[in-house]
Amino acid sequence: MSIKAIIVDDHQKSRELIQSFCESYSNGVIQIAALCPSVDSALMAIKTHKPDLVFLDIDMPEKNGFELINNFDVLPFEVVFVTGHANEYTKAIEISAMNYLMKPINPLNIKAIIERFETKTALANSINRNEILKNNLNGENSTILFPSNDGFTVVDTTEIISFQSQNGTGKCTIVTTNDTIVIHKYLKDVMLLLQESRFIKVSSSAIINKKKIASFNSKTYTLKMSNGSNIKVSDAYYNKTKLIDALAN
């Protein structure tokens, strides 16, 4: 397999560093077709080279990385966003199952991206992640894509009832109105992806959707959910007053 790539970053040293890492850690799989200092030059390079992969800096002057993807309804290439700091953009990227690299870049992450590339490319036509990303960037956050061994699992957040951890295994169970899904993610990491206005963590082992609560039993300190399940609330997280406030807001 050969992956044709372009690198878009307004800093020359950053472009050259990513190129060097690709050459050193991809075993010749990634072929760099162009180094672009701006969105406009990148659009020309995309038209000329038709890359499979674009390393795209988010934080560029004049036009940022997202202005490049706004030129496409469906992305004809895989994107690896590059940024110097975590923010609302990286959250939107992660819940859209897209890759991003944090500066300073760990070259081993280049190898991980290559391993995921084939599977995601095969699924690109079945799910428009670019549209999902745009919605998430606008704050809608109605869809989360969780990476899986075969690619990713698409979850409608409005259908989620709860997340429940699997005893420190690095996995958790998503219970929805229609299905039960197991994902490879710690509960604390899942919480970072969710809207705080909709979801709260009620114990070390459970996150619930506030809009799916049917009732609260103050004697047993449990929440009855819309599917009939009961979830215990930890008093270490909420006393009764704070719980009521959290559920109301």
Confidence at 122, pLDDT banded by 50, 70, 90: very low
Is 189 strand, coil or helix? helix
* pLDDT given at position 150: 62
Q: What is the pLDDT of residue 113?
A: 77
- Superfamily of 3-135 according to CATH: Response regulator (3.40.50.2300)
C-alpha 119/C-alpha 236 separation (Å) is 42
Over the chain, what is the mean pLDDT? Answer: 86
CATH number of 144-248: 2.40.50.1020
CA distance linking residue 45 with residue 58, whole number of Å = 18
Q: Is the pLDDT of residue 126 over 70?
A: no
**Phi, psi torsion values for 176, nearest 5 degrees:** -115, 180
Domain ranges of the chain: 3-135, 144-248
pLDDT at 119: 56
The residues, ordered by sequence, that sit 6+ positions from 234 with a Cβ below 8 Å of its Cβ are 202, 203, 204
pLDDT at residue 123 is higher than 60: no
Tell me how far the alpha carbon of residue 123 is from its chain's centroid.
Answer: 16
Which long-range contacts (C-beta less than 8 Å, at least 24 apart) are formed by 92-95?
A: 92/133, 92/136, 92/137, 92/141, 93/133, 94/193, 95/136, 95/141, 95/143, 95/144, 95/145, 95/193
pLDDT of residue 97: 64
pLDDT for 215 beyond 90: yes
pLDDT recorded at residue 50: 95
Arithmetic mean of pLDDT, 216-224 = 93
pLDDT in tens, 140-195: 667 888 876 666 778 888 999 999 998 778 889 999 999 999 988 889 888 888 88
